[in-house]
Amino acid sequence: MPDESPAFPPPDAAALRAAAGNDDAVTPKDLKVKLADQRLFIEWKDGLRSEYSLDRLRRECPCATCRTDRETQQKNPMKILKFNPAEVRVVSAQLVGNYAIQFTWSDGHNTGIFDFRMLRAFDQVSASRGL
C-alpha cells in the first residue's frame, strides 16, 4: 500500500459553487489523503488549510448506522462499541460528486459520505473549543 494516495483532482468549481452557495470556505482547492499517517489535508479556496485525523472522522461518521450507534452510546454509556476507531484504518478514498469525500475502512465500512461543508464545520467547532 503506498504511503500517500494521489491528490484528488480539483473538484469542478462551478458545481461546487452551485452546491455550496458560491462559498469559497467550503470549496476545496486541494485534497490529499496520507494513508501512512491516516490524515486528510484540505486547502480551501479561501486560503485556510485543514488537517483531519482519519480516526476522528470515523468517530464522527455521518452514516445512519454510526449515528445510531453514537446516540445509543449517549443513552447508555455502558454499551460496548462495535469498533475502536484507533484500530480501524482508511484503506482508500474517493470523491463523491463534487461535494464530498468517502472513505473505505479496513473493517469494510464505506457508507459515510463526508460533505465538504461538514468538514469545514469541524474546523469551526475545533477552533471554538481551542483544539
pLDDT digits (tens, 9 = 90+) for 16-71: 444 445 588 999 999 999 999 999 999 999 999 999 999 999 989 999 999 998 88
Residue 76: its pLDDT value, please? 81
Nearest to 85 by CA among 99, 103, 72: 103
**CATH architecture of the domain covering 13-129:** 2-Layer Sandwich (3.30)
Global pTM reads 0.74
Neighbours of 77 (CB within 10 A): 6
